[in-house]
Structure 1
Amino acid sequence: MTEGMWRYADRLPAVAPKSIVTLGEGGTPVLDLTEALGRRLGVASVLAKAEDRNPTGSFKARIASVAYSLVNERGLAGTVGTSSGNGGAAAAAYAAAAGSRAILFTLTDTAPVKLREILVMGATVHRVAGVGHDAASTRAVADAIAEQAEQRGFAPMLTAFHYAPEAMQGVSTIAFELAEQAPELTALYLPVGGGGLLTGVHRGYRDLGRVPRLVGVQPSGSAALRRALDGFPGGIAGTVRTTVSGLQMAALYDTDGAVGAVRESGGHAVEVGDEAIWQAQEELARCGLLVEPAGATALAGLFADARAGRLRRDDRVAIVLTGAGYKDRDALRRMAPADDTPVISAGDVPARLDALLGRTR
């Protein structure tokens, strides 16, 4: 297996080739946005790691591939996990591909498209009040899943090293790819929910011996990382007020890993408002990149740092685009209300073409 993420099989949990469950995850492109954004940000180059190009529309496909490969290798019954949507969609897809099971406990306000995505691929789903929004409920459910899964022959599909350290090694392959695609990178901006992405990318770079500055970006209404860096125990965000699906986390699952990633790399945390995230989403759309709000959060943090004077002229920065635009239909409606589209008759088309296309050559 030499393509995609499994090119790095020697750095992933050991599984026999016949046990690997893959849908073509990994090997995502790095896109050059320097011409569009470099001058405005005042840096040498701006790149985007397009994780929305993964099979299930987010980086969570990497985790699910490792998880279900381990399920196959160990003869387990499937996975059990929590999800705000993308992790659940990945679990459902890879369970279907493996002929296995996915049992999921989601937020009550999981984006409808993500919920349908999970259901259509055959996963069992329960929505749980408080999960994602209340720290005590979120951790109680995760702890119960981790305990029960192990006892009943399932693997935990919780996208955090604290609960699923082997499956989460799939995240580190993002760093392995970036080290090859953008070896001169000086800073990498990533969105932060539970801290697993930040932790995994840091571990990957650390294994390679060279770590760029890692900057974790969170909505100000769910700023558990900032609070953890300020010394609040457990990275508790307090009341979650953000509407950004995927980043509605009342607590960091991977507090130590996320805090260590920022501190050891010389990075920092950035808080941005939901409106700044929506603006970044629109900015990316003007570059031809349609991502969900969580996927645009890293760019919002990059703009915030540019305004604060935290970037250097010789910086070569990258952002991680974590999720595809189709994942959040509400965000698309906000960006482009359908009723703004004019309706004309077929007979009006020639005149409209004349007006739009201008003088004939």
Structure 2
Amino acid sequence: MACESSDSDLEGLPPLFNDEVPKLSMVPRPKTLERRDGWSVVEEETADGGALRWMVSDAALSLDQTRVQLTAPDLKGERHFCRDSLRAASHQVMVLALGLALDSTSECLRHSLCVLGGGGMALPMVLVTQVQSVWVHVVELHDVVIDFAVRYFGASHERLLVEQGDAISIVQGPTRPWLPKSLAGLVVDIDFLRGTAPPEFLSLDFWKALWATMKPDAIVAVNTIGAEAADVQALAQLARMAVTVETFGATAIGALVLEPGPGDRRVWTALIPRPSVLLLAPPLLLSKIAGAARNPEGFERQLPSWVGRVAADVLRAMAQGKLQASWLEPTAELSKITRLHRCRIESRVE
């Protein structure tokens, strides 16, 4: 509706144009380097001239993709991947665990590790770079992921052995790429407690086959990000049930979960899920991690020097109470494990 005294109404409004030049944001936006078969490689430049690079799947349930850091260009204009740090808290926790496992068998001239689910290979590449005696077997289902990891994430090393295929078939198969009872550590970096992986991961047969590949003092680290506490407890119980004298000797298996503690005030959502890592190993080995919060300096002195550098953020978070380690007692009911397995099968049928 028109107003007769409109001139007076406009006096209080700011001018449409002025002499000031608007300041444009100089923050670079992420850009897609390549996209193929439902997978994309994304890069974002950082203020120091470096970059962060990550891989994204169309089927991803969250925004928690692991970033790999690149340095600023050197005198030749070339960037280099940072192999002395890991940005993902889950990977830093896994480094803590694997570092202790490797240190407990330090007399070995060759250590074999396995990572199920390679992605951009950030964790495997740090391991082969930092530990000269380590050989890492990586099992990755998608050939496009392996191709992207090599071309965009520098995943190439003489001690990095990548196997393209189904992790379940390879672990349970007769011709594994590694010898029985040879692995000092194994990482399951597959988001399978949120419904994206086959139900066979929650079977006794799979876990029995897995333990048969491990040394008696080995450690297994499972990425349980975003999982319900009851599901993590049930998984720990299942893994323990699979341990027999035939598969893992007479060594008892403990279960420890590392997750945000009372000092962490962040709000977790479906897009930014709560981090969690389940560790399965002899209790004596896990007790060192469980006691880290009480004596962080003493715990760090037990670690190889490279672990302290790579996992610096997690060590600091444990000292500040932002990350806590909790023992999981073997109290989960078998019915809960059976229900988890059945739900995964039903979801695949639908």
Query: TM-score, normalization: structure 1?
Result: 0.32
Normalized per residue, the structure richer in helix is 1
Query: TM-score, normalization: structure 2?
Result: 0.33
